[in-house]
Amino acid sequence: MEISRTIMSLKPKNTSDHDGISSELIKTLNQPICIPLCTIINKSLETGDVLGSMKIAKVTQIQKQIQFFMQTIYTV
């Protein structure tokens, strides 16, 4: 299954995300959660409903080199 391959391709990290689950734990539970997870994703795509907890994103600003250089000049 595509979901199983995606789970197994996760980077092995012991740190948890906003949901408190590490990728290492998800990889360990790959077989038991694969079919229920597939059902949830398919239902979400069919109905267009997305759980509120799945709408969370982490946005990180990455400064470009020129912005950093200009900031350094003005702060000196």
Provide the H-helix boundaries in the chain: 2-8, 23-28, 30-47, 65-75
Per the confidence metrics, is the pTM higher than 0.85?
no
Query: CB-based contacts of 6: which residues, under 8 Å, 6+ apart?
Result: none
- pLDDT value, residue 31: 92
pLDDT digits (tens, 9 = 90+) for 22-62: 888 889 999 999 999 999 889 988 998 877 766 777 777 77
Query: CB-based contacts of 52: which residues, under 8 Å, 6+ apart?
Result: none
pLDDT of 1 over the 90 cut: no
- Per the structure, the count of domains in the chain is 1
The CA distance from 23 to 16, in Å, is 7
Read off the DSSP letter of residue 61.
Answer: -
One-letter amino acid at 11 equals K
Domain, as residue range, for 49? 2-75
